[in-house]
Amino acid sequence: MTRLLLALVLLLSAAGADAAVRIKDIADIKGLRENQIVGYGLVIGLNGTGDTLRNAPFTEQSLQSMLENMGINVRNETTSTTNPPRPTTLRTRNVAAVMVTADLPPSIGPGERMDVTVSSLGDATSLLGGTLVMTSLRAADGAVYAVAQGAITVAGYSVGGQAQNVSQGTPTAGRIPNGALVEREVQGSLREMEFLVLELKNPDFITATRILDAINRYAGGRYRAQIAFERDYRTIVLSKPRHIGPVRFLAEIGELTVEPDTPARVVINERTGTVVIGRDVRISTVAVTHGNLTVRVTEMPVVSQPAPFSRGQTVVVPQTVVEANEAGSAVAILSGVDLQRLVRGLNQIGLKPSGIIAILQAIKTAGALQADVIVQ
Longest dimension (CA), the chain: 114
Highest mean pLDDT among 3-17, 21-35, 334-348: 21-35
Using a cut of 0.75, tell me whether the model's pTM lies above it: no
Q: What is the DSSP letter of 71?
A: T
Query: Quick one: pLDDT at residue 80?
Result: 52
Is the confidence at residue 235, as pLDDT, over 80?
yes
Tens digits of residue pLDDT in 240-264: 888 888 888 888 999 999 999 888 8
Query: Quick one: pLDDT at residue 175?
Result: 94
- Do residues 65 and 41 touch, judged by C-beta distance below 8 A? no
Which residue, among 102, 121, 120, 127, has the nearest Cα to 179 in the 3D structure?
102
Is the confidence at residue 152, as pLDDT, over 90?
yes
Query: Percentage of the chain with pLDDT > 70?
Result: 76
Domains and CATH numbers, the chain: 35-73+91-154+168-182 (no CATH), 190-258 (3.30.70), 265-375 (no CATH)
- Do residues 258 and 25 touch, judged by C-beta distance below 8 A? no
Query: Quick one: pLDDT at residue 9?
Result: 46
Report the C-alpha gap between 266 and 275 in whole angstroms: 7
Report the C-alpha gap between 248 and 226 in whole angstroms: 18
Residue-by-residue DSSP string for 5-58: HHHHHHHHHHHHTT--EEHHHHEEETT---EEEEEEEEEE--SS-S--TTT-HH
